[in-house]
Amino acid sequence: MASRLLRIGLIPGDGIGREVIPAGRRILEALPSSLGLKFEFTDLDAGFETFQKTGAALPERTVDVLKNGCDGALFGAVSSPTKAVKGYSSPIVALRKKLDLYANVRPVKTVATAASPIDMVIVRENTEDLYVKEERTLEDPAMGGVYAEAIKRISTRASLRIATMAGEIALRRQKLRESGFASIHKSPLVTITHKSNVLSQTDGLFRTCAKEALAASRFVDGGVAVEEQIVDSMVYKLFRQPGSYDVIVAPNLYGDILSDGAAALVGSLGLVPSANVGEGFAIGEPCHGSAPDIEGKGVANPIATLRSTALMLEFLGEEQAAAKIYTAVDANLEEAKLLSPDLGGKATTEEVVSDILKRL
């Protein structure tokens, strides 16, 4: 069988990023050879410590290697200084821009045996909306003095492509289910989130574009059902009946809020993966930060990173390899013998990783 070489950049960053990213590398190296995958790893710098050493939070070499010498990457976490530090800004935000990683994909899933099981993916547009950061502060006596305003920008192009990605993810999840991957859902569903009853032009455009993209024949033929929901009622239902969602697509700000809210449903930040995705490139990134409170203790939960590694593989077209990792992680959680302290267990990062590697 011909083998495929995947070149993966490893960017541990700060804090527990350095303790969990090696787990991502190890699980890739432990994948069965029958999958025909080979990996080549490059260690790359970014983060606050890199900034303090070199004056750049995101060195040029890191961007160059990712652009020209990698198929995908794993990003750990970077610490955010409590006070603004001159010249420092988040390297992951810069990376998303430089590599045009226009989607943030966040699966939120419990084990199937949970009391109320959840299995959803939030697909968040990541380039526009209020995040264009065009704000200004003005003054007008008629407004009562100083006031401020911000631009919310929604484009046809960005809305069509994010909804298309949501449709592709829904189809892929269905394929995984049909190949025996356990799930609470029987058929694919995409929920479009907006507030077009108030913002008829911006969110109205998002809604129209998302519907248009999801009406493409490959989604219709693939049985992808489409529904829409106003964001406030979505929050309510997300907390009352989270099991009813499969794929959610949202503009930037709502997506940000929904994905943190949904992450709260599964018990620990240490479980929740994400991916930053563009055309033909994906960076897996655990949702948690650098967790300074547990740094250096060897107890960080590696599962968010292992799942982010699998998610990266999905976007590189390696669903089978991804499914193997997800299955091994779920088996560890279902057995619940070797759990890290955030899940009420006593196991170290190393013990959790080796248990999951054994299950591959």
Question: Where does this chain bind ligand ATP (CB under 6 A)?
Answer: 16, 77, 79-80, 269-270, 288-294, 300-301, 304, 340, 342
Task: Please tell me the number of Cα atoms within 13 Å of 87 on its side-chain side.
Answer: 9
Q: Which burial class, exposed, middle or buried, applies to 179 when counting CB atoms under 10 A from its CB (0-12, 13-18, 19+)? A: exposed
Q: Kind of pairing, strands 189-194 and 225-230?
A: parallel
Q: Closer CB to ligand ATP, residue 77 or residue 190?
A: 77
Which region, left, alpha or beta, applies to residue 55 given φ > 0 means left and ψ of -120 to 50 means alpha?
left
* Residue 96, phi then psi, degrees to nearest 5: -60, -40
Judged by beta carbon, residue 289 or residue 317, the one nearer Mg ion is 289
Q: Which is nearer to ligand ATP, 280 or 292 (CB)?
A: 292
Contact, 273 vs 150, CB < 8 A? no
Count of helix runs (H) and strand runs (E) in the chain:
12, 12
Tell me which residue has tokens 């829409």.
228
**Smallest gap, in angstroms, from Cβ of residue 283 to ligand ATP?**
17
Nearest approach, Cβ of 336 to ligand ATP (angstroms)? 16
Residue of minimal Cβ distance to Mg ion = 289
- Enumerate residues 126-185 that contact Mg ion by CB under 5 A: none
Nearer to ligand ATP, 242 or 270 (CB): 270
The least distance separating ligand ATP from the CB of residue 88, rounded to whole angstroms, comes to: 13
* Partner interacting with residue 290 (select from Mg ion, ligand ATP, none; CB below 5-8 Å by kind): ligand ATP
| Residues between 246 and 305 that touch Mg ion (CB under 5 A) | 289
Q: What does the block give as tokens for 201?
A: 């032009």
Q: CA 184: distance to chain centroid?
A: 21
Supply the minimum distance, in Å, between the C-beta of residue 12 and ligand ATP. Answer: 13
Q: Which is nearer to ligand ATP, 79 or 159 (CB)?
A: 79
273 makes contact, choosing from Mg ion, ligand ATP, none, with CB < 5 to 8 Å by partner type, with: none
Which of Mg ion, ligand ATP, none does residue 342 bind (CB under 5 to 8 Å by kind)?
A: ligand ATP
Query: CB under 5 to 8 A by kind: which of Mg ion, ligand ATP, none does 301 bind?
Result: ligand ATP
CA-CA distance, 255 to 131, in Å (whole number)?
12
The SS3 assignment for 198 reads coil
Is 341 a residue that touches Mg ion (CB under 5 A)?
Answer: no
> How open is the CA angle 294-122-211, to the nearest 5 degrees?
165
Alpha carbons 296 and 225: distance in angstroms, whole number: 46
Two tokens at 28?
């890739």
Which residue's CB is nearer to ligand ATP, number 36 or number 345?
345
Pick between residue 261 and residue 289 the one whose CB is nearest to Mg ion: 289
Rounded to the nearest whole angstrom, what is the least distance from the CB of residue 340 to ligand ATP in the complex? 6
Q: Which residues bind Mg ion (CB under 5 A)?
A: 289
